[in-house]
Amino acid sequence: METRVSDPSPHILVVDDHRDIRETLARYLIKNGLRASTAENAAHARKALKAASVDLVVLDIMMPGEDGLSLCRHLVETGAMPVILLTAMADDTDRVIGLEIGADDYVTKPFNPRELLARIRAVLRRTSLAPRERDPIEQELLHFDGWSLNVSRRELKDADGTSVALSSGEFQLLCTFLKRPKMVLNRDQLLDLTTGRTPAVFDRSIDNQVSRLRRKIEADPKDPKMIKTVWGGGYMFTADVKDQAE
């Protein structure tokens, strides 16, 4: 009755070009019951976001290469992922820009880890319960091989328009694939991305879910065309995915 599958501890991605900062911070977060990953620049951060399920990003605004701000903008615009910015100084400009772009909070360096932790918790609480603004209802519709998946309605329809019921696990798995087409994902990644769990020793749950999903969406589940098995590597979604507004 204790550890429920539904709430694995939140996963924080720390993006900072200073190694000591990001590692210390990650250790501190983990010690306090969160999960944490690190990335040293925007490019690595993007990869990490694709490969694992992240609940919140702590982002240094001043980084070489792609600017932290542009990554932040991207995150806020696309994924509705909460972002906390780290700014070098208590510079009002940074602050205003950051909050304007849509960052959920910001912390100035040098910061107190405990304060940052408190803000992380506050943002997570807020984003998980705050009433939704009622403006842009974006119908996320994903098309692949005649199928169409309405992500916000959790509805899958075949070429004829008849809807096929998906269980939560199947829906989650399909979403994971559709967001990362033509990309080999191993079982651990899939498990993390779909449920947030860490793999057991001999974990066959992903195999099972893949099998169940294939039975529903493959013409011939024995000879899958969309969800291909990569021997020794995991699975890969091979169909073309087009997202298209309604």
Q: Which helix (H) or strand (E) holds 92?
A: helix 92-101
- Pairing outcome for strands 147-150 and 141-144: antiparallel
Place of tokens 């694939």: 177
Residue 31, contacted partner among DNA, a copy of itself, none, CB below 5-8 A by kind: none
Whether 50 contacts 74, CB under 8 Å:
no
Least distance CB 237 / DNA (angstroms): 13
Nearer to DNA, 41 or 150 (CB): 150
Nearer to a copy of itself, 100 or 132 (CB): 132
Phi and psi at residue 47, in whole multiples of 5°?
A: -60, -45
| Number of residues engaging DNA in binding (CB under 7 A) | 32
Can residue 170 be called a binding residue for DNA (CB under 7 A)?
A: yes
Give the ranges where 11-54 is alpha helix by DSSP (H): 19-31, 42-51
Instruction: Convert residues 215-234 into a mask of x (bound to DNA by CB under 7 A) and - (unbound).
Output: ------xx------xxxxxx
Residue 79, contacted partner among a copy of itself, DNA, none, CB below 5-8 A by kind: none
Q: Hey, is 34 helix, strand or coil? A: coil
List interacting residues with DNA (CB under 7 A): 1, 4-6, 165, 167-170, 187, 195, 197, 200, 202-205, 207-212, 214, 221-222, 229-234
